[in-house]
Amino acid sequence: MNIVKTTLAYIDDGSSYLLLHRTKKEHDNNKSKWIGVGGHVENNETILHAMKREIKEETGLDVLHYIYKGYVDFYMYEKNGLYKQRMYLYVVDKFQGELIECNEGDLKWIKKEKILSLNLWEGDKIFLKELDNKSKFHLRLTYKNDVLIDVKGPKYI
């Protein structure tokens, strides 16, 4: 099975995370959801380079320091069969630059204690609770028709 590699970063200003409210793309698997910043790892690109590139493209910010948190494996049963994605998760705690308008949605600083009340994927609620944990982790989430049907982990690595 082919595994799609992606990155996701939560940019941290100390009390808030910069989130992307996915509202602008017509056909978007994340439509109306609040997520971190990230995207696909391109061919011949490292995971770290992909994370930094996606942040620059979507926010205009440059990464100065980051913390690798671990990875999440997604298994998604869709009309066309099983789709697997491995998402490498980061917290960016030092950055510079000015925010730009994102063509995928609206960027907004959200207080950490308010995030779980937003329209999030159910699985995101699990790994968001791990971002302040010092340990790296692995999590496996299985979705069917956008409904979370199985969770394995988090397993600390």
Specify the pLDDT at position 71.
Answer: 97
Specify the pLDDT at position 77.
Answer: 86
How many domains are there within the chain?
A: 1
Question: CA 131, 125, 79 angle in degrees (round to 5)?
Answer: 125
User: Tell me, what CATH number does 7's domain have?
Assistant: 3.90.79.10
Specify the pLDDT at position 1.
Answer: 59
pTM > 0.85: yes or no: yes
Question: For residue range 58-94, what is the model confidence (pLDDT) as tens digits?
Answer: 999 999 999 999 999 999 987 777 889 999 999 999 9
Which structural domain range is residue 73 located in? 3-156
- From its phi and psi, is residue 55 left (phi > 0), alpha (psi between -120 and 50) or beta? alpha
